[in-house]
Amino acid sequence: QVQLVESGGGLVQAGGSLRLSCAASGRTFGSYNMGWFRQAPGKEREFVATIKWSGSTYYADSVKGRFTISRDNAKNTVYLQMNSLKPEDTAAYYCAAGRPSASGSYSLPADFGSWGQGTQVTVSS
């Protein structure tokens, strides 16, 4: 229902920063939970962060304190500010949108029905 396009990926040195953007084309963007997932070669898609429609944020332990998710509903855009990047952060990063459910779940791929194409983040040592 919502179309998502990520941008901002690239190559960065360890300790550096990068900001990912996800532009949404959806009539009801403000009513969606928005999440970021990442997937490295040979690994499962991994939860990174979610910002719910209410503004509540949630982070994987591996990125807590380093990454910040935010949204600008007026611009239909969600951001992932990544600081203190580590080589293990290297992955394809995917933006996702999901309708809130009664359970309130926010960290599973099944919680999100729409996905972007992904943007590659590579962190060099």
pLDDT tens-digit profile of 17-60? 999 999 999 788 999 999 999 999 999 999 999 999 999 999 99
Q: 80: buried, middle or exposed (CB in 10 Å: 19+, 13-18, 0-12)?
A: buried
More confident residue, 102 or 8: 8
Q: Torsions phi, psi of 104, nearest 5?
A: 75, 10
pLDDT tens-digit profile of 53-90? 999 999 999 999 999 999 999 999 999 999 999 999 99
